[in-house]
């Protein structure tokens, strides 16, 4: 099985010893994306904007790998406060309007850079 590292400057670079994504065995495994704007390095303050930015970063990496959000089969959403679940769902739903992927959502004590949300994905990749 081949293993290919996926990178793009349209999403924040890794802040540790990991790749933005790896393509292997017909799948793309996208590392958790936090809401850093890759152009400015800033982090939005509210959870809606953070969710949108995290998903925008995720989409940029997926597109760099030759796929789209429609190819996502599973996401994991890590959130700082479960009280924000419905607000995060509303922002998330806009990115997956039809046939959304399977998903897990868990509350965590702390995320990198003290953000409110982080999202990772598994994508089905079929070369054209």
Exactly one of 49, 64, 105, 124 is catalytic; name it.
Answer: 105
73-105 burial: b if 16+ Cβ within 10 Å, else e: eebebbbbeeebeebbeebbeebeeeeebeeeb
User: Is residue 53 among the annotated active site residues?
Assistant: no
In whole angstroms, give the CA distance from residue 65 to residue 79.
26
Count of CB atoms situated within 10 Å of the CB of 107: 13
Is 35 exposed, middle or buried, given 0-12, 13-18 or 19+ CB atoms closer than 10 A?
A: buried
Residues with a catalytic annotation lie at 105
């Amino acid at each position: 099985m081949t293993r290919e590292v996926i990178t793009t400057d349209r999403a924040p670079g890794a802040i540790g010893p990991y790749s933005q994504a790896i393509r292997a065995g017909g799948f793309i495994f996208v590392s958790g994306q936090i809401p850093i704007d890759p152009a400015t390095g800033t982090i939005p303050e509210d959870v809606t904007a953070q969710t949108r930015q995290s998903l925008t970063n995720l989409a940029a990496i997926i597109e760099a790998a030759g796929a789209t959000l429609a190819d996502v089969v599973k996401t994991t959403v890590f959130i700082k406060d479960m009280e924000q679940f419905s607000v995060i769902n509303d922002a998330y739903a806009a990115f997956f309007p039809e046939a959304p992927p399977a998903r897990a959502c868990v509350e965590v004590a702390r995320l990198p850079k003290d953000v409110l949300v982080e999202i990772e994905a598994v994508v089905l990749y079929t070369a054209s």
